[in-house]
Amino acid sequence: MERLKRLRGRAEPRSEVERPAAANGALRAKNAQLETTVGALRTEIGQLQATVTALRAENSELRDSVGGQQSRIAELERQVEQQAAKLATNSRNSSAPPSSDGPAVPPRRRKKRGLRRGGQPGHEGATRALVALAAVDEVVDCRPESCTACGALLLGEDASPERRQIIDVPTPKIIVREYRLHRLICLACGSATKAEAPEGLPDSVFGVGLHALAALLVGRFRQSKRLVTELFEVVYGLSISPGSICAMEQRVAAALAEPVEEARAALRRAKVVGKDETGWRLLKAKAWLWVTATDSLAVFTIARRRSSQIVKQILGEAFAGVVCSDRWSAYTYLLQRQICWAHLLRDFTAMSERHRSAWHRQRLAECARRVMAAYAERQAGRISHDEMVRCLVPVRERTRRLLTWTANSAPGSKAQSMAREILKLEAHLWTFLDDASIPVTNNLCERLLRYAVIWRKLSYGCDSEAGARFVERILSVSASLQLQRRDVFAYLTAAIDAHFRGQPAPSILPASS
């Protein structure tokens, strides 16, 4: 019934006047409600748009922050990797000297032969040989006066007495020689004439021997100027100032200028030279000490730069010989080179200990050892040069193959780049196969520089250009004469004496030059 009533109520028509008014009111109410809803939605949209804008700005800031953090993380990872590589650096995988190895570096492995330390059973002891009689300064004959058995007087001469020699040094003593230049009056004309100083008399109060000894103590035995003055005071009782040592150094440098330039010119004509460099200090600024050497001659140069321009100045623009050196870029312009295999062995070792490529390092290092072992066999005369070349043919092929593998697939990026750099120089790895006079390592120059490195650590370099010239020349002369097994002190004495006399100094070139 209720449903029927509702249906009837719907079916009853409204009046013509009531229907539009009711419809319009409902529409207006609905429209107002919609407008309110739209306003609220617009407000909400505005708030959402503001939120989106803020979120976008925040997102941009976060992206920038994340990008910066990623860059920072990458930089820190790079620094950590560099620090780890630096901590892993030692004398086996870099050019660092063995003295820089810390206690964490394991000692070099040596083959155990099962022998005790010291002389082995059956080994003949080494004793100092007696000095020839012609070089003996004093002979003291010791003869017994009476027989130890019966006490009778002993006479006669022993044809072959037991000889015992005592080697000693005389008590150090300086020699002071006074020259008196007299002025005499002529009896004929009354004019005064003063005697002239003897030829070669030094302008300094110190003589030739003192100049040579001071130069040798500073330039060869690495003594500071103050220690040299103390030595003269303690040993000779001579009071001398550090400034006087500096003045003597400059005179010695002037005396050695021509011989060193002559040696420099000879090296520019050499067929094969070794080349290396190390850091130095000049006027409290960074500089470089260069060495150029053969088996019998060495010349040092201090320069501000470590570039190919310095190499050209030292060797000359038209140098036609072979240069044995490391892989430093300053030597890239040279057409004929021999890359040092000792440096390569350290590079290969670094692949394992510093650059995470142990597999490649082990095999490349074995190739380097085989190259140096074959060269040592040839140097010892156990195989000929041609035999060495033949036995290194498979080593050469294996080295190329391993370097290619390393450049393409080594796990360490640094090892890959190192292998690519070495492959670019492949033609210069094997120059020694074409000429028996070319060495496989640059160890000679490294040994010559090692002395200078120790001197630099003690003296902190040079504080003047004049001091730099003294270092260059005294190192060149002492190293060259030592290579030739000549008396350095005797040469310095002769060169300084010639300088005081205005004469040319003796040459430091080997006798065969």
Domain range for residue 386?
341-441
Residue 139 lies in a domain: no
Residue 193 lies in a domain: no
Can you tell me the distance from the alpha carbon of 350 to that of 414, in angstroms, rounded to the nearest whole number?
10
Q: Is the pLDDT of residue 137 over 70?
A: yes
**3-state SS string over 47-104?**
HHHHHHHHHHHHHHHHHHHHHHHHHHHHHHHHHHHHHHHHHCCCCCCCCCCHHHCCCC
Q: At what angle do helices 358-379 and 393-409 cross, to 10 degrees?
A: 160
Q: Which of 32-36, 101-105, 306-310 has the lowest mean pLDDT?
A: 101-105
Domain total for the chain? 1
Residues contacting 428, CB < 8 A, separation 6+:
337, 338, 339
Neighbours of 363 (CB within 10 A): 16
- Selection from 504, 450, 470, 506 nearest residue 216 by Cα: 470
CA torsion through residues 382, 384, 387, 392, sign:
positive
The whole-model pTM stands at 0.76
Predicted local distance difference test score (pLDDT) of residue 4? 47
Can you tell me the distance from the alpha carbon of 426 to that of 432, in angstroms, rounded to the nearest whole number?
13
Predicted local distance difference test score (pLDDT) of residue 40? 87
510 to each of 80, 337, 485, 504, how far by Cα in Å?
51, 24, 10, 17
- Strand ranges for 87-226 from DSSP E: 183-185, 192-194
Q: Which of 255-259, 267-271, 451-455 has the lowest mean pLDDT?
A: 451-455
The 10s digit of each residue's pLDDT in 487-511 is 999 999 999 999 999 999 999 999 8
Residue 148 lies in a domain: no
Element (H, E) at 276: strand 272-282
Please give the share of the chain, as a percent, with pLDDT higher than 90.
57
Residue 392 lies in a domain: yes
Residue 417 lies in a domain: yes
What's the whole-number mean pLDDT along residues 104-125? 70
Kindly state the DSSP code that residue 496 receives in the 8-state scheme: H
Residue 437 lies in a domain: yes
What's the whole-number mean pLDDT along residues 182-202? 91
Residue 311 lies in a domain: no
The 10s digit of each residue's pLDDT in 354-377 is 556 677 778 888 999 999 999 999
Residue 107 lies in a domain: no
- Selection from 314, 307, 304 nearest residue 263 by Cα: 314
